[in-house]
Structure 1
Amino acid sequence: MAYGASIMSHSLRCLVCSITLCLASTAWAAGSNEPPANSTDVSKTEFAAGRAAIERKDWANAISIFNGIVTREPRNADAWNWLGYSYRRNRKLDEAFKAYGTALKINPAHLGAHEYVGEAWLMAGKPDKAREHLEALASLCKSRCEEHATLKKSIADWQAGRQNRYY
């Protein structure tokens, strides 16, 4: 009986650890600007360099940095998201759509990727596709997140023919 209880206790601990790791990675992938705690020092440094390149609007450098990260960490949804963002801001929409698609395959609840791919669809002149991602955000965050508000405003600006810094 003690052996069975020990196995059950071990299984329960494994389950709790797995759930904890999933929740931590989901929180990270929702759109944080910081690399996950389990990233290597190299990827943390590269991630910071990529974000700095984005802040400088140095799209080519940001693309290079995030391409390096996703090559080594192909399951890093945030790196894929920022790679898509860099491509989009560099007006390379085909590459942006591929990167956002990968981010959303890894984490379908990635708020940043939904917002940014919606803005890419506006750039491509397809507001209905942008609205699909607005609906996804409404479902994911009950319309109470920054990503939803930003994409909603971008769609309204696009429909009114107003320029918007996001697309």
Structure 2
Amino acid sequence: MAAGSGGDSYASDAESDAYKEGRQAVEAKRFEQAVKIFARVTADEPDNPDAWNLFAFSLRKLKRFDEAERHYLKALRLDPRHLGANEYLGELYLQTNRLAKAEERLTVLDRACLFGCAEYSELKTAIEAFKKTGTVPGA
């Protein structure tokens, strides 16, 4: 899956220009820039779980794990079944050596993805790799 593109749940046709700019920064792996943009977007759109998810994703890529975790949890308070936030929070848990918490996110995704989804498959693969190697692929 493209960086940060997973599981958007907010109305995509209602994306603000700032959100689109932030998403483009994430896709280009300009995470410092994305953090600045999503700080503004989440201030303007505090009920947008996709913005919180991409804000958290960018922070996680910068290894700012505590902040990222808070923002993923905010996204999940707004939308508990948000596919991207559940997958990426699971990956954060692996990066911070919390396998059981990552497996909880996998269970949530299993229930949310009745017929399977990329987010479930990707987190499952990451968990399996973590169990074998102690590392997270692509982290």
| TM-score, normalised relative to structure 1 | 0.74
One of 154, 160, 163 as aligned partner of 2:126: 154
Give yes or no for the alignment of 1:164 onto 2:137. Answer: yes
Aligned equivalent of 1:82: 54
Question: Comparing 69-78 with 156-165, which one deviates more in the overlay?
Answer: 156-165
Aligned equivalent of 1:138: 110
Alpha-carbon deviation of 1:120?
A: 0.3
CA distance in 1, matches of 2:7, 2:61: 17
Change (3 A) 1:155 1:143: farther
Which has the higher relative contact order, 1 or 2, with Cα contacts under 8 A spaced 6 or more apart?
A: 2
Conserved 8 A contact 1:34-1:47: no
Structure 1: state its 5+ residue gaps.
1-29
3-state SS, counterpart of residue 109 of structure 1: coil
- Determine what percentage of the aligned residue pairs are the same residue: 35
CA distance in 2, matches of 1:140, 1:74: 24
Give yes or no for the alignment of 1:103 onto 2:75. Answer: yes
Structure 2: state its 5+ residue gaps.
1-5
Change (3 A) 1:144 1:61: same
Alpha-carbon deviation of 1:54?
A: 1.2
CA-based RMSD of the aligned residues comes to 1.9
Conserved 8 A contact 1:31-1:110: yes
Give yes or no for the alignment of 1:113 onto 2:85. Answer: yes
Alpha-carbon deviation of 1:154?
A: 0.4
- Give the letter aligned to residue 154 of structure 1: A
Instruction: Summarize deviations over 1:134-167 as a string: whole Å, max 9, x none.
Output: 00000111360100000000001111115501x3
3-state SS, counterpart of residue 91 of structure 1: coil
| TM-score, normalised relative to structure 2 | 0.88
Task: Report how many aligned residue pairs link the two structures.
Answer: 133
Instruction: Summarize deviations over 1:57-89 as a string: whole Å, max 9, x none.
Output: 211100011111100110000000000100000
One of 101, 110, 116 as aligned partner of 1:129: 101
CA distance in 1, matches of 2:115, 2:89: 17
